Amino acid sequence: MSAANSGPAADSGAIEGLSGIPHLDVDPFSTEFFSDPYPTHDLLREAGPVVYLDKWNVYAVARYAEVHAVLNDPLTFCSGRGVGLSDFAKEKPWRPQSIILEADPPAHARTRAVLNQVLSASVVKRLREGFAAAAAAKVDELLKVKSFDAIADLAEAFPMSVFPDALGLKQEGREHLLPYAVVGFNAFGPPNELRQKALERSAPHQAYVQEQCQRENVAPEGFAGCIHARADTGDITGAEASLLVRALLSAGIDTTVNGIGAAVYCLARFPEQFALLRQDPTLARSAFEEAVRFESPVQTFFRTTTREVEISGHRIGEGEKVLMFLGAANRDPRRWDAPDSYDITRRTSGHVGFGSGIHMCVGQLVARLEGEVMLTALAQRIAKIEITGEPKRRFNNTLRGLDSLPVTVTPA
């Protein structure tokens, strides 16, 4: 920033406060913002390395370097006071606190180790064949109707056809899974209408999830059963096992729905990239990863400062919420060449779409497997994806994605 400590900053529309931190009057949880976040992402990045959002009284970082730095200093920027706007030191959480997402070192390491093992590369490898067959069957089914909604019929239908089985859930009640996730991801946001309405209607979804987290309700061989088995070895208690199953029910479905939705939306909008993928279907994994960078299905998370700290020369006090714009970091021109281009041959490593550091997505191998097998099936079977109607956006305080994407596909 320029030298002045007060007065308007040149081009950002920001007013600097006494600390030299620009104050912005944008609401990143409004439908106007969700409809087109990119000009505001640019404003946030250009205003300074750290900004203050007067609307919600929080600090925010939108540049790659600062988002990465905050993610990788979990003792200073803690998760234990919640990773949404609500500070658990001041407000009661809407549900019992997560013992992995909303936990800090050293306690976090023990629960994280359990999920790392349950969702390890060797375990996920054994799922590949079945997931690939399900993706191929789904695409064959869609090729029969040709015109469909790529969100409901593909991005939602495919994860729903494989993930609840992999968890070991019973059939009954699975319709609660997506609505429960919608509550969870809206609840990270401020007390706006999205959050309040979601919580108002959450009781039946919460009751379902609470019940399915119990050991007697899951198959022993699935992810949930494997978590519960760790109670026998004494690594965790039975109650802790239930809370870790809850984490997978919360975070395992709507994230991949929006990841796969993002990838299909990208391939439909950028046919030259779909052509590249068709030429070489082994690019499927990269094409999915680039969609996660490009759309950032998980847009934001908060941290809370545990002490006074400096971010890029700006002092922030203890007990302050810091909002991290993962989606803005993933398109920061300081870090990425042509950040606004979807390029499946790009080196995506280092993107923060799955986070970074000790809390980085524990289910990332399952997510990538789902994305890869679906994009492989599309590449092998489909010649063209045409958007045939106005895509409708879905508004959520944390997740970015579409509500509907009407498409017509042509067989290869």
Shortest distance in whole angstroms from residue 185 CB to ligand OVV: 5
CA distance 325 to 177: 26
Contacts with ligand OVV, 194-233, as mask; x by CB under 6 A: ----------------------------------------
Q: Where are the beta strands (DSSP E) in 227-367?
A: 300-305, 309-311, 314-316, 321-325
Q: Does 111 bind ligand OVV (CB under 6 A)?
A: no
CB of 247 to ligand OVV, least distance (A): 3
Which range binds ligand OVV by CB under 6 A, 38-46, 168-176, 247-255, 377-385?
Answer: 247-255
Judged by CB under 6 A, the residue of 184, 189, 339, 355 near ligand OVV is 184
Distances (CA, A) of 38 to 8, 33, 404: 22, 8, 21
**Smallest distance from the beta carbon of 77 to ligand OVV, in angstroms?**
17
Residues 6+ apart with CB under 8 A from 144: none
The alpha carbon of 334 is separated from its chain's Cα centroid by a whole number of angstroms, namely 23
Q: Of 100 and 409, which CB lies nearer to ligand OVV in the complex structure?
A: 100
| Using rule CB under 6 A, residue 185 touches ligand OVV | yes
Strand segments, DSSP code E, in 4-159 are 15-16, 22-24, 51-53, 58-61, 77-78, 147-149
Return the H-helix or E-strand segment holding 411: strand 406-411
167 scored as a contact of ligand OVV (CB under 6 A): no
For 116, other C-beta atoms within 10 Å of its C-beta total: 11
Q: Which of 101, 134, 268, 373 binds ligand OVV (CB under 6 A)?
A: 101
What pairing do the DSSP bridges indicate for beta strands 51-53 and 314-316? unpaired
Decide whether 49 or 80 has the Cβ nearer to ligand OVV: 80
The answer to whether residue 256 forms part of the interface with ligand OVV (CB under 6 A) is: no
Q: How far is the CB of 250 from ligand OVV (least distance, A)?
A: 3
| Residue 247 in contact with ligand OVV, rule: CB under 6 A | yes
The amino acid at 238: G
Count of CA atoms in the C-beta half-sphere (13 A) of 164 = 20
The dihedral sign for the CA sequence 88, 94, 96, 99: negative
Q: With respect to ligand OVV, which residue has the nearer C-beta, 48 or 184?
A: 184
Name the closest residue to ligand OVV (Cβ).
184
Nearer to ligand OVV, 28 or 184 (CB): 184
Q: Which residues bind ligand OVV (CB under 6 A)?
A: 98, 100-101, 184-185, 246-247, 250-251
